[in-house]
Every structure is written in C-alpha cells, then in structure tokens.
Chains A and B, each alone.
Chain A
Amino acid sequence: MDFQVVLLAGGASKKLAPLVSQEVPKALLPVANRPVISYALELLEQSNLKDLIVVVEGEDTALSVGGWISSAYADRLHVEVAAVPEDVGTAGALRAIAHHLTAGDILVVSGDLVCDVSPGAVAAAHRRHDAVVTALLCSAPVSGASESGSMSGKDKAKKPVRYNIIGLDPLKQFLLYIASGAEVDKDLKMQKNIIRAVGQMEIRSDLMDAHLYAFKRSALQEVLDQKEKFQSLQQDVVPYLVRSQLASEVLNNGTPPTDEHGSVNGKILLSQLLANSSTPDFHEMYTPVNGSLLTRKTHKCCAYIAGKDKYCARLNSIQAYSDINRDVIGEANHLSGYSFSSHNNIIHLSAELGSKTTVGPHCMLGEGSQMGDKCSVKRSVIGRHCRIGSNVKIVNSVVMNHVTIADGCSIQGSVICSNAQIQERATLKDCQVGAGYVITAGAEYRSESLSKK
C-alpha cells in the first residue's frame, strides 16, 4: 500500500510523571510488561504497514526508543527514528519531518494507542472516499473504573476531557464537526452551511478521537505550511480541515496535479451532498448555473467508526495507564499477545510463588519474580525480577520491573515503577511511586505521587 506511517511516540510527557522520566520515555512505558509502543507497532504490522517513521521528542529519548525498536523489530519492520525538539506539538512534529514524507497518503498514529482496530481498514476507507483526512473514532472508553466515574449523571460536564463532540452525516461516513471535549465548557458553534449541505447532522458525544488519522499528503503539507501556528493535529489541523471542507483552501493552492484532483473530488462530494436533498426544484435551481457551482472547491473529511466490540484506548493519563494495564490482561487480553493459563492469568515459568500464595485471574507475573508466602494478587501486573515478601496484598496495581516489596505490605490501585523499594508493612492506596523511590517501613500513603526530587 502506498501509505507512509508516522508513529508519534512523544517524549517524556510531564502528564505521566512520575511514571515517565528521561530514562523511561512514554513510548517505553510497560503495559503488561511490554512497552506501550509495541502495541501500535504490532497493530501496524498486522495491517502490513511496515514502513514507518517513528517521531520522538528529544535526541536522548530518540536514541533509547530507537534502540529498543531496532532490537525488538529488527527483521520485521522498516523503522526510521526521527528526533524532533520537545514541545513542538503533534503538528510541529510532522512539520519537522515533512521532508521525509513522500507517499500519497500518510497514516499518523499516536504511539500511546492501544487498540485492535485495523489501521488498514481506516486506510481503506480513506482511499475509498479519496478523503483529505480520515479519523478513527471509537466508542468512548469502555474501561471500567474511569468510565463509571465519568458517566454517572452530571459528572460529564465536569470531566469533559475524555469526550469529543463529533458531527456525522446520516450515513456516518463523513466527519462534519469535531471538537475536543474541553470545548464542552463553551457553547458549540456549528457551521450552518455544512448543516445545510447535508440536511441532517448527527451530533455525538459518545465517540472518542483515537488519534489515528489518514491524511492526504498534499493537503496535510499545505496546511502545515500555510498555518504556521498550528501545533496540534487533533486540536488545530483536523478541525481546520473539517471546518473548511465546503470551501477548501488546501486544494486551491496545491500543486497543479493535485489541484485538478481536488476539484474532481469536490464535484463528487457536492453531487453526493445534493443527492440528499429531496426537493425537486432544488436541482432545477442548480442546472442553469452549473458552471459557477463547480468552481467551488470542497474536500472530504471522513470518519471510520470502530465497532462497539473493538477495544481502543489511549495511554494519556495515569488513570488510563492503570485501566489499560488491567484491560490488556483482562477483558481485552487478546491484545497482550500472551497465552493465558486456565486460571485466566499469566505466571512466567521462572516465577516463584511461596506457599499459600494466590494469584487471581486477570493477573500477570513476570519472568524471574519471586513471591513469599501467603500473598494475594488480584487484577494486577507484576514485572520482571521483582522480589516480594510474605503476606503482601497487591490489588488493582501495576508493579514494574526489579521492584522490592517487603513483608506485610498492602498495595491497592497503585503504580510502582522500576527499582522502587517498599519496606515492611507499608500501605499504599491509589499512589504512584517513581523509579528507585524508597518507601519506609510502616508508611501509609493515599492518593499520592511519590518520586525522587
């Protein structure tokens, strides 16, 4: 396929501190003991999209991410790692690597995407409609805890971050409106001319923009060149393309071949839009002046809506990190790529369990980890080479690699980063413990973020 894939792997996101640091960039954050970026890479590989550019913020980060990818996927994928300065935004990142882009269409995938929707299907929809942009939309997160929190009644208004507001045509093919959830704070402004053109627009707030887009390269570059202020793909570039679809500027000033292409494209869309109208005199009104009509430039913005049974989540918050870890070894365990035991869990052969220690379903215990006696693990992921004492309770948590947990600790809903040390009888609830941090004996923490200064 003539698709070039850009994987935006990010850098050391501050939002995810203390989980993410200079040593562990976001892309390498383990989800069920695999770096999160591997989910996106494997997804692409399944769709036979093997020609990738991975864009990483910061030179050092690029080195470590590149190192990992080349070790893990050396013979499977053709990956080029490009470093861009930090804080340029997603649009800035694309702008920086624009000279690498040569294919007719570009697939942009966010490196923190964990999903099982085939990017190939999105690409195919994009091609079928000859769209300028196609966005993957999926049902707003299906993950348990976070959703039940945000869905309960009026909380929606307070927690708008997760929501996108999407406008679709009656056939749910075209994207007519898109706004990020944060905009719910303001009143929404819908363009009348677009509603006029389609007659009926479906507004949905139960969909999430998965940050997987297919772009027509010429249009994307046009926008990136013209609008220097655009920083973010999802907040600037995509909404811009969607808004301007009936009065396209991107195809106006394009190179001659694409220009021609664009106007043909526009005609098709317009006639499609016209076909929606029911009044017979409508066409008659158009006929005498057809010539002038066709000078209008339009472009298409499409949506690919993933089925309800598909899993799709983005690792963009600490809450999401816990949710995704739980889902990948739980409901969406086909994503993990591991085979589960009859108890519905994964315990590595080299892991050692003490007597009367139970590891419940939807759990994972990594290579070489040891657990003492009378421990209980529920719905948690434990990384490699961890040493866990006796009488330890771990529920709903993620424990990364080389963590030491002494006897009698209780860990609930927390994330413990690599090399952390938790001394006897410490109690942690809903905490994040940064890499290498030491929790003293008997300490009790609740909803705190603990890390080395």
Chain B
Amino acid sequence: MGAPKKPGIRASEDAEDLARVPLQAILLADSFAQKFRPITLERPKVLLPLVNVPMINYTLAWLESAGVEEVFVFCCAHSRQVIDYLEASEWMSQPNFTVSTIESRKAISAGDALRFIYERNVIHGDFVLISGDTVSNMSLNEALKEHKDRRKKDNNAIMTMVIQRSKPSPITHQSRLGTDELFLAIDPETMQLLYYEDKDDSRKGTISIDKTLIADNPTFLMHNDKQDCYIDICSPEVLSLFSDNFDYQHLRKHFVKGLLVDDIMGYKIFTYEIHSSYAARIDNFRSYDTISKDIIQRWTYPFVPDVKFFGNSAVKLDRQGMYRASEVGLSRSAKCGPFTVIGCGTNIGTNTVISDSVIGEGCTIGSNVSIEGSYVWNNVVIEDGCKLKHAIVCDGVMLRSGAVLNPGVVLSFNVVIGQKFVVPAYSMVSLLEQPTNQDSDEELEYADNNSDSDVASDEVDERYSAEVPEKDKCTAYEVGESGAGYIWQVCDGVHEEDWRHSVAPIPDEKLIELMQKVDLDTEDNLPSSGELKPELNSNMSDDDDDDIEEVQDDTSLFQKEVEATFLRAVHENVAQSHIVLEVNALRLSFNMTFLDCASALFYSMIKLALDTPHNSSVDLRTSAAALIRKWKKLLKGYLTSIDEEIEVILKFEEMCLESKELAPSFTQLLHLMYDEDIVQEESILNWAAEKENADEKDKEFVKQAEQFLQWLKEAPEEDDDDD
C-alpha cells in the first residue's frame, strides 16, 4: 500500500543515518474526543489548567527535557486560542527547541491530522507522536535507542509504543486513569505487540486470539496489567501509512489494530515498558483527578508545582504536601489540609477547610466553606458556607452563599450557582446550551461544534457574559435563584456510567453493586460446560452457543450493512469505487475477509432481484442477470482466488434452496456468471467436486447444473484441440 512512496523515504533515511537529524515531535493539540465537554466548548483541552498550569506546558516541557528539538503542534479545535497562547508564551523563544504550529480546522481525527502533516512534508526522521494532554517525565533515550536499533535490523519496525504497568480494577474494569481495561499480547523477547484490545466490551467474556498468532509465536504473554501511555516513537512510514489508508482515523482503533490484524506489508509495532518514570494521558475527568494528585504527590518530578518549569508561578512546598503561592490571603482559622495547592492572589476566609484540592489564582473564598477533592480554577468566587466535594469549577464561576456541589459536578466557565442551590451529583453545568445534535460519532470531535466557532469561540465568553443579566430574568437557567447556567442532559444510557469518568471517587454502593455483578458476570461468561467439541454440548452449553451466535450476529450484521450499502449504490447511483471503499471500511470494522465481502455482495444483488416485483421466475432471472452484469466489476474485485468464487457459488446455492422462485434459474445464472468471467471454470468444477460426497438433497443443484458441468468439462478439451 505504501509501496510507491517507500523508495524515496528509504533513500532519505540512509542519508540521515550519516547526518544527525534533530529529533522531531508531533504534538496533537486536540484530543478529537468530547470527554471534557462542556468545558471544551469554550476552551481547548490542552489549555485547561492542570494544577494551575495549562496541560500543554507539561507536554512541551517534557519534550524539551527529553531532547526533542523540533515540535509541530497540530491545532484544530479552538486553534486560534492555542496559537495565540503559544505565541505569547516563552516556548517560541527557546534555544535549541523550536515550536511551530500547524493549523487545520478540517481535521476531525488524529488520522486527518497526521495526513495533513504528511502533506506538509516537515517530518524527516523518527519522531515522537504525542497528544497535548500527556504528562510524563520518562527519558526517551533508551526507548529511542531501542527503536533505532530495531529499525536497523528490521526496517518494518515502524513504531514503538510506550506502556506502563498498571492493573485495572477487577471490579470496574477500568484503570486508575478511568480508561477502559486493555488487553495486550506481547512477545516477551522482542517486545513486539501482537494483539491490542481496548474496546470495553464486557458482554464478551472471552478474547479471541487468531490462530496464526500462536503458530508464529510459540510463547507470548497476554497482559491485562499494562496501560497505554499514548507516547509513540514513530518512523516516517507511519505518516505515509495514514496517508495511504485514508480510512484510518483513530491512532489505536484503526492504525494499531489495522497493522496488527491486516498485517500491512509486514509492518510491526513494538512496545517499550517504563518502570520507574511517569507517563499518563489525561483522557477524561477521572484521569484529570488522578494525574493532578500524582503531580501534587510529586510522581512527575521535576514537573511539580514548586519547581519552576513553564507557565507556573512561584509556589512553596509546605508540610504535608501543601503548596502555597506567594500572596495568598489565608485567614488564621482557615485549615488547608494535606495535598492542596493554592494559587497566587487567592483569599480564603475564616473557618474554611480545604483538603486534597487545587485552588487557582485570584480566587475569593468566603468563610465556613468546605472544599474537598475539588479543582477550582482561576478567579472563582465562592461565597460563605458553600460546600464543594469532588467538583471541577472553571474560571470565573460564582457560587452564591450556601451552594452545594455534590460529587462529580463540573461547572463550566462563568456559571453562577444560586443561593443554597444544590447541584446534583455528576451534573455538567454550562452557560452554553447543550447542542441538540447528539448524533455525531464519538470520533467526530468537539471540532464539529467549533467549526463555525473558530472565530466565535474566543468571543463566546464575552457574548455570554453579556447575555447573563437578561437571561437571569428569564429563569431559563436551572441552577437556582439568580444563577446562570444550563444543566446538561446526559444522553440516554450514558447516565448509568456517569461515575466511570467523573472526578469523584467511585461510591462504595456502586462498587458493591458492581462486585455482585462481577460475580454474576463470571458465572454468565463462563462456558457452563467444559466441552471443547461442539457436537457434545447439546444440552448444557448456553454460553458456547452464545459465542457462536455472536459470530453469526456479526456476519449477518455485516451482510445487512453491505446490503444497505449496495442498495444505496443502486438507488442513488453511487460510483462503484465509492462502494468498494465503503465495503472495505465495513470489512475492516467487522473484521471480515474478502470471502465474506464477496458472498455478502452477491447476496445483496440476488436479494435485490428477489425483492424487485416480478411475475415469473423468468422475470426474476432477467432482473438478476441484469444486476449481475451491471455490478460484476464490483463483485469481481473481491474474487481474488478460487476460494472466494466457490464461496459465492455456495452462497448462491444456499439462496436458491431458500427461494423456490430462484431455484429453477440456478444453472442459467451460473452460466451467466461463467460467461461474464465472474466465476472461473475451475471453481465451478471444484464446487461440484466438493458436493460429490454430500447428501442427496444437497446435490439438487449439482444435478440441475449437470449438463452445464458436463459441457465445462468437455470445453477445455476442445480448446486443447484448437491449440
């Protein structure tokens, strides 16, 4: 697939081996996810403060310390804000460390971003691929060296993925960062990645390992105790692969799995495990909470509040992990508990208790306030008697006296919570109304919402702050008297899972509930019988059957999708090349083979013919024949070998068995397919031979086609005579 481009890359690489290349990095300043909504409607995720420093600074500071010399920051959502921030920051004026921005508003996924960068042709050698929400202090030297050494030996080792040991909770099946549990298969000797599954599909109690994996690797380890750090060292081929496979969107879901499953040109991915250093990515609110705590507890040293890196102000570390900036107005009776950070210029009133929290700059906190495990950003006003528990409070928020934030609450920018209003647990409150079009794919990131707000987003704050007074009266707001903000409705189904990605710790009741479910699950998932031979387990194996059903489900679902695609092609005159693309995409997502594609496509054609109104079987035959003629190119594209052709014939036979109308036309249509070069003689004969030993009733169609078969058998001899 990348073949035409490769020679060029190779040549340039050889040259690079001689001349030292500066280490480059691509930093994606967009996570292409919506997990931080509603906050990210107004500010890009990479600029959100993490322990009072915008996230991107951690990533950039790490890249600089790790010896990266050139960083390309890819900006998409709120690109203006990111670029403005970077241009105003000191990052642009560093010696030996250049930061340049690449802006594209059209990208909707990491794949698009990388394709865009590929076209820019700025990457010349191995590079680090990272997203702007990663915190790490690992040293890259060893990982880079391993990567380079491997590449010298094997040019196909195009990526090294950094992993870390971290065992997901057996109860919630998610890591401490709130990400779904990950199943990896790794060859312990070479560290080659063989299998990657992060899709949380807890319904399935089993993992399917491809048999070829076992045939090729006599020993490998199946891991559930690793975490993906989302730091990748890539070779330039990675970019060209993205460009060749334009359906790759997600780095892991499509690219990594694509390489592992499809074995594209023998490219391999390897892993590098870090043991003592830190690396984690902020994926959701829970990881925001976890990583903030890790920073406060100094796991990320030197990127901690009291060490000056970039964008943080002078902070002093007191006893008990208490960080205090200068100019903090702390009342004598206020108690700031352990593991708390208080930003510059913040005033705290009497009898206020703060623990395990981060308070930003310029906040005003009244008396008798209790803040526990919360993240309060800059310029927040909290009046007397408020209670905050495990909440995130963005810039400019106002909590009127006596307001209560229950665990898991997120207040977006400039929200005002009315007096004594109790915000229910896990609610998201924003001044912006919830977008109604919730149909966007999860990968269609917050960018879609911002596509029109590139300019607007910067003004959003002002626009809304201007509107606040008016709206106040309308009482359209749902956050108490004189409050401002909408409580977002959580989409159906997600509600149950609120606790998963929230900042709040998982409540005990939930754990107990889950625990009992785990117990049930294990019993459910367990094949209730131990037989391995399916013919034996007639009476008791409900689960084995489930597995089979699942597979069948997949196949039939795939068939349905292909059929729908095909129908669309017929009715809307879609170009054949587009259909091929769509079917290929379906094939990848359902993990099907060309064989399945061919049979599904053929099925769709005949089905269409069957569904078209017809008076007689002759009518039916004509319409089927017309369809076959019209779409034979499409079908032919999937018939790469005899096997696939036989499969199509078998499918045809199966359909004929089901439909009495179709049955009489079997031979004619088969003949037609032969004439149109859809199936070769060899496959027809093979099919007939396969049926030789079948039951009498299965032979119905072989008999019907007997004459044709006979003719086929004789035909080549005539050819020979001609020669």
Contacts and interface: CB of A to CB of B under 8 A. Distances in A.
Contacts of A236: 530-533, 536
Nearest to B536: A229
A204 B218 contact: yes
Contacts of A186: 211
B711 to A, nearest CB: 36
Of A185, A197, A203, A231, most B-chain CB atoms within 10 Å: A203
B530 A227 contact: yes
B207 to A, nearest CB: 5
Interface stretch (B305-313, B455-463, B511-519): B511-519
B176 A206 contact: no
Interface in B476-534: 506, 508, 511-512, 515-516, 518-519, 521-523, 525-527, 529-533
A190 B176 contact: no
B168 A191 contact: no
B533 A206 contact: no
Contacts of B166: 278-279
A203 B214 contact: yes
B530 A205 contact: no
Contacts of B188: 202
Given A193-B521, A227-B530, A235-B533, A281 B176 contact: yes
A189 interface: yes
Contacts of B171: 285
A233 to B, nearest CB: 11
Interface in A109-128: none
Interface string A292-311: 11011000000000000000
Interface size class of B (residues with CB under 8 A): 35 or more
B617 interface: no
A125 to B, nearest CB: 21
A244 B539 CA distance: 18
A301 to B, nearest CB: 12
Nearest to A155: B215
B167 A277 contact: yes
Contacts of A405: none
A193 B522 contact: yes
A247 interface: yes
Contacts of B169: 279, 281-282, 285
Contacts of B205: 191-193
Given A204-B219, A278-B225, A281-B176, A244 B519 contact: no
B515 A293 contact: yes
Nearest to B525: A193
A247 B185 CA distance: 25
Interface string B199-234: 000001111111110110111111111000000000
Contacts of B212: 157
B165 interface: yes
A295 B214 contact: no
A12 B55 CA distance: 74
Given A240-B531, A279-B176, A196 B170 contact: yes
B530 A190 contact: no
Contact of A200 (B225, B523, B527): B225
Interface stretch (A76-84, A176-184, A210-218, A255-263): A176-184
A237 B536 CA distance: 13
B181 interface: yes
A288 interface: yes
B537 interface: yes
Contacts of B529: 227, 229, 240
Contacts of A227: 529-531, 540
Contacts of B207: 189-192, 195
Contacts of A167: 222
A239 interface: yes
B208 A187 contact: yes
B547 A189 contact: yes
A211 to B, nearest CB: 16
A278 B167 contact: yes
A205 B218 CA distance: 5
B214 A200 contact: no
B708 interface: no
A39 interface: no
B511 A289 contact: yes
Interface in A305-331: none
B183 interface: yes
A199 interface: yes
A89 B207 CA distance: 30
A230 B536 CA distance: 8
8 contacts: A157-B215, A195-B183, A195-B222, A197-B170, A203-B219, A230-B530, A277-B167, A288-B512
Given A189-B547, A285-B171, 5 more contacts: A157-B212, A157-B215, A235-B531, A278-B167, A292-B519
Q: 3 smallest A-B Cβ distances: which pairs?
A: A240-B530, A199-B225, A189-B206
